[in-house]
């Protein structure tokens, strides 16, 4: 599972959705893999406006990556900064979480990730 | 005709095989009226913010792979993110592979103008129930080919169990396939849950494509959506065109009038 995907996912428990603590989910015991993908600066520029930057900073730090700037770059700044482009490309699209858990900061439920696929099906008592 | 994604690797004993309903979605989403609608809403000049396309219940992945591989043609931009949510773990794995193959084929056919031949970016397929794993308001295009066949009972996904291993029994496989077609009362029990979740799942510019069969009473479904208020519209944008049998299919498009192009 890609780090960019994590920016769109939250706890599947209905009552958690209104809580700020349910996003982003927190990786635990994460085993990461790295895919080599050709960089696409235009795509990144179009993805940047829809990223929740605060959540991405949290995820990035929790996965052991260097801290991202406190504020997101503007599209112009991103396009002019090759190092940042490469860093974001590597983090968002090339990094895969293959195994581990995703933990909700609100209810504490742990979603298993196996072979790169996260399982958000809830046990019946949480549905 | 845009090429149909290769699904020869999909284990059809556990995952729904592409059928007439899947192909109606491909035809409808690539029809002149829908490519015009989607391009006007999502082409890069219309916002500069990559749309997120989510297919619920992708099964083999043939539809979401098609949308990803032909993003430029269908949505007027290749800067598109796509993903899938399926209750069936085998379907999630199959969808990832189908999308990767379809994108690779598009890139191989690139005419050299660069940009990967117009393919978008497939992110992931996650295992889950409808839109439950997704943050509110992030989906720009939602596609759903639901379990629409009326059945006495509605099968329930198993959170762990069968899908933990790589082998499955005949009963487990039957259960996985039942999840893909059995729709309970009027074949609408799962679709009704999805329709109820749309206003919170979709972005302000979001729209949804949902497949219905004649027994789902599509005219009543559309009326119910329009009656919810909030400017919601629902129109039939594709039909199987066949009169025989009870499984006459149609695709309805659901969107908000406030963002009409």
Residue A44 in contact with partner chain B when CB distance is under 8 A = no
Spans of all domains in chain B: 22-259
Q: Please tell me the predicted confidence (pLDDT) of residue A125.
A: 81
What is the domain range of residue A106? 3-126
pLDDT digit string (tens) for chain A, length 127 residues = 999 999 999 999 999 998 999 999 999 999 999 999 999 999 999 999 999 999 999 999 999 999 999 999 998 999 899 999 999 999 999 999 999 999 999 999 999 999 999 999 998 888 7
Cβ of residue A113 closer than 8 Å to a chain B Cβ:
no
Residue of B nearest to A75 (CA): B48
Q: Which residues are within 8 A (CB) of B10 and not within 5 positions of it... i.e. 6 or more apart?
A: B17, B60, B61, B94, B97, B98
Q: B124–A12: do the CB atoms touch at under 8 Å? A: no
Could you read off the pLDDT of B11-21 as tens digits, one per residue? 999 999 999 99
Q: How many angstroms separate the CA of residue B181 from the nearest CA in chain A?
A: 19
Tell me, what DSSP letter sits at residue A19? S
User: Are the beta carbons of B79 and A17 separated by less than 8 Å?
Assistant: no
Residue B115's pLDDT is what? 54
CB pairs under 8 A between A and B: 96
Cα distance between residue B245 and residue B243, in whole Å: 7
Which of B76-90, B103-117, B178-192, B220-234 shows the lowest mean pLDDT across its residues?
B103-117
A117 with B93: Cβ contact below 8 A: yes
Residue B131 pLDDT grade (very low, low, confident, very high; cuts 50, 70, 90): very high
For residue B162, pLDDT over 50 is answered with: no
Confidence band for B158, pLDDT divided at 50, 70 and 90: confident
Q: Do residues B251 and B24 touch, judged by C-beta distance below 8 A? A: yes
Contacts with A116 from chain B: Cβ below 8 Å: 96, 124
CA separation for the pair B7, B24 (Å, rounded):
16
pLDDT reported for residue B261 = 45
Measuring CA to CA, which residue among A26, A122, A12, A37 is closest to residue B197?
A12
Q: What is the pLDDT of residue B45?
A: 63
Interface of A with B in 5-34 (CB under 8 A): 5, 8-10, 12, 14, 17, 23
Tokens 């979605």 belong to residue? B25
Q: Which residue has the tokens 């491909």?
A: B26
Q: Which of A10, A47, A121 sits opposite B157 (nearest CB)?
A: A121
- Percent with pLDDT over 70 in chain B: 89
- Residues B233 and B193: their CA atoms lie apart, in Å, by 18
The domain at B22-259 falls in which architecture? 3-Layer(aba) Sandwich (3.40)
Average pLDDT, chain B: 90
pLDDT for B245 equals 56
The pair of three-digit structure tokens given for residue B252, joined into one six-digit string = 């309805």
Q: Which one of B49, B52, B125 has the shortest CB-CB distance to A117?
A: B125
B49 with A118: Cβ contact below 8 A: no
Q: Which of B44, B96, B127 sits opposite A120 (nearest CB)?
A: B127
Q: Where are the alpha helices (DSSP H) in chain A?
A: 3-6, 41-47, 53-62, 75-80, 82-89
Which tokens hold the place of A118? 């996260």
Number of domains in chain A: 1
- The tens digit of pLDDT for each residue in B61-75 reads 999 999 999 999 999
Q: Which of A91-95, B104-108, B152-156 has the highest mean pLDDT?
A: A91-95
Q: Are A121 and B159 in contact (CB < 8 Å)? A: yes
- A93 vs B: CB within 8 A: yes
In chain A, the residue whose alpha carbon lies closest to the alpha carbon of B126 is A118
Q: Is the pLDDT of residue B31 over 60?
A: yes
* Residues in CB range of B90: below 8 A, 6 or more apart: B11, B14, B15, B163, B176
| The pLDDT value given to residue B260 | 47
CATH number reported for the structural domain that contains residue A38 in this entry: 2.20.25.10
- For the stretch B35-64, pLDDT in tens is 999 999 998 665 578 999 999 999 999 999
Complex ipTM: 0.96
CB-CB contact of A4 with A47 (8 Å): yes
Residue of A nearest to B85 (CA): A120
Answer yes or no: is pLDDT of B138 > 70.
yes
């Amino acid at each position: 599972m890609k780090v960019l995907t994590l920016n769109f996912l939250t706890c599947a428990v209905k009552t958690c959705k209104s809580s700020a603590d349910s996003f982003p989910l927190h990786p635990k015991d994460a085993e990461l893999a790295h895919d080599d993908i050709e960089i696409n600066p235009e795509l990144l520029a179009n993805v940047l406006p829809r990223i929740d930057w605060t959540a991405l900073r949290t995820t990035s730090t929790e996965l052991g990556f260097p801290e991202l700037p406190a504020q997101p770059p503007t599209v112009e700044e991103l396009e002019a900064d090759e190092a940042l482009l490469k860093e974001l490309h590597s983090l968002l699209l090339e990094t895969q979480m293959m195994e581990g858990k995703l933990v909700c900061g609100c209810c504490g439920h742990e979603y298993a990730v196996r072979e790169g696929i996260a399982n958000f099906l809830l046990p019946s008592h949480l549905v | 005709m845009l090429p149909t994604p290769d699904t020869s690797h999909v284990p059809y004993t556990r995952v729904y095989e592409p059928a007439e309903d899947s192909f109606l979605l491909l035809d409808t989403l690539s029809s002149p009226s829908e490519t015009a609608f989607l391009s006007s809403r999502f082409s890069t000049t219309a916002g500069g913010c990559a749309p997120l396309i989510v297919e619920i219940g992708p099964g083999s992945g043939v539809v979401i792979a098609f949308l990803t591989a032909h993003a430029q043609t269908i949505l007027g931009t290749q800067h598109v993110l796509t993903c899938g949510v399926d209750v069936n773990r085998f379907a999630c794995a199959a969808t990832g592979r189908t999308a990767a193959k379809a994108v690779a084929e598009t890139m191989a056919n690139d005419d050299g103008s660069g940009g990967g031949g117009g393919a978008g970016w497939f992110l992931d397929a996650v295992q889950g129930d409808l839109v439950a794993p997704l943050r509110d308001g992030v989906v720009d295009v939602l596609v759903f080919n639901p379990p629409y066949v009326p059945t006495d009972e509605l099968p329930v996904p198993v959170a762990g169990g069968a899908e933990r291993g790589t082998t499955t029994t005949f009963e487990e496989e039957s259960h996985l396939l039942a999840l893909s077609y059995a729709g309970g009362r009027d074949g609408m029990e799962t679709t009704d849950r999805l329709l109820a979740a749309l206003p919170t799942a979709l972005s302000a510019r979001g729209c949804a494509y949902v497949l219905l069969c004649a027994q789902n009473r599509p005219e009543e479904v559309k009326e119910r959506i329009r009656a919810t208020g909030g400017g919601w519209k629902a129109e039939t944008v594709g039909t199987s065109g066949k009169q025989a049998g009870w499984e006459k299919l149609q695709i309805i498009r659901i969107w908000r009038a406030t963002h009409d192009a």
